[in-house]
Amino acid sequence: MQLRVHALMECSTVNGPGVRAVIWVQGCSLGCPGCWNAQTHAPLQGFRLDVSEILEWFAKASRENRIEGLTISGGEPMEQAPAVLELLRRLKAAHPGITAGLFSGYTERELPERLWRAMQSHLDFAVLGRYNARRRSHDPLVSSTNQVLRLYTAHYSMADFAAQSVEIHIDDTGLTQITGFPVLGSPVLG
């Protein structure tokens, strides 16, 4: 099974608790105005990776960076739900102590109940709901006040989620990645 991916990041501290690997999937039909990740919306851009390739990437990142978990963002992960679910199943089987988080613009009521229950069984947390630029939030991981941070295991409490911040990564090839939550007045926003 394959996943269409926008980008991978081996080591982040702003996309959930602890040090996390992050996958941004490619493709989102929601198109929330003001979306921070608008470049992830076009469904045919990005690149395809087999779930097994992502697991190999994660295992390497985990060895090199003492990773606590994986966060899946986008784009819209639920628009590739079968592949995301397969990735989460295999991740938890191969790395039982690893935590998993997901960002989705869909609310729980919008998601097919059976599919969402299967997804939840492999998640430790999720941020759900469309981004609304007029309802800015400064709460951890939640960029607008209509979104919710849900916990699905006892692994984390709300106190484990740090204040919003931004990271800038520049690798040795010059690739620059900016991730996180640009709050009003942040230098990233100008």
Flag whether 47 is in a domain. Answer: yes
How many structural domains is the chain composed of? Answer: 1
Flag whether 119 is in a domain. Answer: yes
Q: Which of 49, 148, 52, 53 is nearest to 107 (CA)?
A: 148
The pLDDT tens digits for 66-75 are 899 999 999 9
Flag whether 187 is in a domain. Answer: no
Q: Is 58 exposed, middle or buried (0-12, 13-18, 19+ CB in 10 A)?
A: buried
Flag whether 188 is in a domain. Answer: no
The per-residue pLDDT of the chain, averaged, comes to 89
Q: What is the spatial distance between Cα 159 and Cα 169, in angstroms, rounded to a whole number?
A: 26
Structural domain including 72 reads 2-180
Flag whether 156 is in a domain. Answer: yes
Flag whether 43 is in a domain. Answer: yes
Q: Could you tell me the CATH number of the domain that includes residue 136?
A: 3.20.20.70
Flag whether 92 is in a domain. Answer: yes
Percent of the chain with pLDDT over 90: 67
Flag whether 189 is in a domain. Answer: no
Is residue 188 predicted with pLDDT exceeding 50?
Answer: no
